[in-house]
A and B are shown apart, each in its own frame.
Chain A
Amino acid sequence: MSTPTLQLSLGPVLFYWTRERYANFYREAADWPVEIVTLGETVCSRRRDMKLDDWLGIGRELTQAGKQVVLASQTLIESEADLRDLRKLCDNGDFIVEANDQSALQRLSCAGLPFIAGAALNLYNPATLGVMKRTGMQRWQAPVEMSKKDLAQLIADCHQAGVSQPCEVFAYGHLPLAWSSRCFTARRHQTPKDRCKFVCQKYPEGLVLRSQESRDVFTLNGIQTLSSACQDLRYELPDMAAMGVSVARLSPRAEGMAEIVKAFDQARQNRLPPPDPLSVVDAEICDGYWYGQPGMDNTRTVAS
């Protein structure tokens, strides 16, 4: 069996779970075939059950289990308190940080610390990736809306321009699509964000937003809006590796993550059974972005 060239990473948990749930999840994840685990709260500064020390503790355990650990910064920075938390995160001394906002870029580049560039930084061209490489970027994530064709060209152009760095693609999970200062989960409960009573914890995989025809469209997750369907690029992994993608990111879901990781691990070794159109239809899958179509499209249902 050939050694897989594509690494698998576990993205940060985007949802607001309980401490117990996080602890159990990462205890299990220690045994999963993923090389990289990204930890931390990237969505809402009001989600404070887990302190930085808690993440560092989990990080050390995962390091012991042989994982590369990354700490992710918050995507929307709004206040001085957010900046104080960001500073502590950047100065953690142990783990590399995933910058999800330009405030993090500033902290990290000023401190001379290397960083991973997150998907919301909008890195679409070699010139921008050149700037990022100059400031200390070690790996970058493609914007979620970027197609395979564009990404292949971008990776090739970066190579030519001498600004190549390992690239990570969002390969599985609810796609992070937008951030607001308004909390849509609190709004559903008719309470202001400042008195949200942490209702997000009631929804370990977000709250479904449907059209008036009962078509699932988005997933509300506090101030974040995610896709309703799960992007699933498991069958694309060989192509991804061939075009120079280094890491496939799997975004944690509340249930069944062990099976998903296993399927991706098999897929990167070309050992996945062929797609079963029926089961795919049941799972609410999308892969449109990868094919340059609307992100919600599922190209695999077309034939069935």
Chain B
Amino acid sequence: MELVCPAGNLPALKRAVDEGADAVYFGFQNATNARQFAGLNFTDKRAREGIDYAHQRGKRILCAINTYPQPDGWQQWTRAVDQAADLGVDALILADMGLLDYAAQRHPNVARHLSVQGSATSHEALRFYHDHFGITRAVLPRVLSITQVRDLAKQTPVELEVFAFGSLCIMAEGRCYLSSYLTGDSPNTRGVCSPAAHVRWEETPQGLESRLNNVLIDRYAEGERAGYPTLCKGRFEVGGETYHAIEEPTSLNTLELLPELRELGISAVKIEGRQRSPAYVSKVAGIWRQALDRLEDAPGRFQPEHAWMAGLAELSEGATTTLGAYERRWK
């Protein structure tokens, strides 16, 4: 299984490669990718350096252009596709059907992967993207149970990549408009979810409060660890009770599913986190490299090491991890 790691900047890309990523994905510094954060992502020059660095070491580079071209910005998105193709990326990660069509026509020799933002959750959906745009791989949304992944894997026309570790997006990706409902900016349109420009922190007599465009997302007691106010991970009141009504702040960690994922023929495991530091990427990539190597040596006897799990827990939201939707009970 290929280990696919995130890079929000050149140092992170290099660390990921050094620590054992088989492939690294990146995006450009604009709304064409789903992680548009100030100070993150790549210029043309930086991308070229990163691609050279990876290729010299036999690693692959994937470029995410996975937001939806807006009515007034089609050229910005096609320019990103042309730019990535000219840079010699190993694959484009795309979501929009029009852009997939453009890439297939204009750059037929550059592999096309379906982004998780393309929301394909069945082999029929994958076949649609395969038949119309010649995709060779798809990233699955984080909403399927392992049994459902198994069923899908039996009939998929393309390679599958699944999320292995990092922030847990619990809505079908590419179909979540919660962020734009509160802030006007969404993953689809602007490549952002709960954007920092709309976040406000305030010490109040009731405790520390986090707000997103003035909507109270959470309120923390003294000494309680405060998380980033991602709107679906806040504490809200439903039917008279206040709790994490949608999801707790927790991270996805599928180390223990590795043997099963391998047996299902999953081609790649994806680490989330282009918004994270080079140190974070380096540590996660290192642990997953060790785990994947161990898996290949003795697939039947694979057990996640305590040190790996502890290392990943330290890097997780709220220091807790979950198998998320892979585990039926979570639903």
Chain A CB within 8 A of B101 CB: yes
B331 close to A182 (CB less than 8 A): yes
A-facing mask of B139-160, CB < 8 A → 1, else 0?
A: 0000111001001000000000
* Interface segment out of the listed A238-246, A259-267, A285-293: A285-293
Chain B residues lying within 8 Å of A213, measured Cβ to Cβ, are 216
B-facing mask of A111-136, CB < 8 A → 1, else 0?
A: 00000000010101111111110010
Chain A CB within 8 A of B82 CB: no
Chain B CB within 8 A of A52 CB: no
Chain B CB within 8 A of A157 CB: yes
How far does the alpha carbon of A76 sit from the alpha carbon of B172 in the complex, in Å?
A: 8
Chain B CB within 8 A of A192 CB: yes
B171 close to A179 (CB less than 8 A): yes
Task: Tell me which of B98, B218, B239 contacts A127 (CB under 8 A).
Answer: B98
B236 close to A157 (CB less than 8 A): no
Chain B CB within 8 A of A184 CB: yes
Main secondary structure of the interface of A (DSSP, over half): mixed
**A210 and B132 contact, Cβ closer than 8 Å, known pairs A144-B177, A181-B143, A183-B331:** no
Chain B CB within 8 A of A257 CB: no
Chain A CB within 8 A of B122 CB: yes
Task: Tell me which of A126, A128, A180 contacts B172 (CB under 8 A).
Answer: A180
A152: nearest chain-B partner, CB-CB: B71
**A182 and B182 contact, Cβ closer than 8 Å, known pairs A124-B68, A128-B98:** no
Chain B CB within 8 A of A227 CB: yes
B178 close to A177 (CB less than 8 A): yes
Number of B interface residues in the complex (CB < 8 A): 69
A295 close to B181 (CB less than 8 A): yes
Task: Tell me which of A78, A106, A127, A194 contacts B101 (CB under 8 A).
Answer: A127
B177 close to A178 (CB less than 8 A): yes
How far does the alpha carbon of A79 sit from the alpha carbon of B147 in the complex, in Å?
A: 9
A220 close to B172 (CB less than 8 A): no
B144 close to A78 (CB less than 8 A): yes
B-facing mask of A182-219, CB < 8 A → 1, else 0?
A: 11100110001110000000000001111111110110
Chain B CB within 8 A of A33 CB: no
Task: Tell me which of A107, A143, A211 contacts B215 (CB under 8 A).
Answer: A211
Interface centre among B98, B121, B122, B189 (most CB of A within 10 A): B122
A-facing mask of B62-81, CB < 8 A → 1, else 0?
A: 00000011111010000000
B181 close to A175 (CB less than 8 A): yes
Shortest beta-carbon distance from A198 to chain B in Å: 15
A289: nearest chain-B partner, CB-CB: B180
How far does the alpha carbon of A209 sit from the alpha carbon of B238 in the complex, in Å?
A: 5
B239 close to A296 (CB less than 8 A): no
Chain A residues lying within 8 Å of B182, measured Cβ to Cβ, are 217, 294-296
How far does the alpha carbon of A125 sit from the alpha carbon of B328 in the complex, in Å?
A: 37
How far does the alpha carbon of A212 sit from the alpha carbon of B215 in the complex, in Å?
A: 9
Shortest beta-carbon distance from A40 to chain B in Å: 18
B154: nearest chain-A partner, CB-CB: A80
A182: nearest chain-B partner, CB-CB: B331
* Interface segment out of the listed A60-68, A97-105, A269-277: A97-105
B169: nearest chain-A partner, CB-CB: A180
A-facing mask of B245-288, CB < 8 A → 1, else 0?
A: 11100000000000000000000000000000000000000000
A181 close to B145 (CB less than 8 A): yes
Chain A CB within 8 A of B183 CB: yes
Chain B residues lying within 8 Å of A184, measured Cβ to Cβ, are 245-246
Shortest beta-carbon distance from A233 to chain B in Å: 15
B143 close to A103 (CB less than 8 A): no
**A109 and B71 contact, Cβ closer than 8 Å, known pairs A76-B172, A120-B175:** no
A102 close to B69 (CB less than 8 A): no
How far does the alpha carbon of A41 sit from the alpha carbon of B270 in the complex, in Å?
A: 33
Task: Tell me which of B128, B171, B236, B237 contacts A180 (CB under 8 A).
Answer: B171
Q: Which A residues fall within an 8 A CB radius of B?
A: 75-80, 82-83, 86, 101-103, 105-107, 109, 120, 122, 124-132, 135, 143-146, 150-151, 153-154, 157, 175, 177-184, 187-188, 192-194, 207-215, 217-218, 220, 225, 227, 288-289, 292-296
Q: Which B residues fall within an 8 A CB radius of A?
A: 68-72, 74, 95-99, 101-102, 118-122, 124-125, 127-129, 131-132, 143-145, 148, 151, 170-172, 174-178, 180-184, 186, 188-189, 213, 215-219, 232, 234-239, 241-242, 245-247, 325, 328-331
What are 9 A-to-B residue pairs whose CB atoms are below 8 Å?
Answer: A77-B121, A128-B97, A153-B72, A175-B177, A180-B171, A181-B172, A181-B331, A194-B328, A294-B182
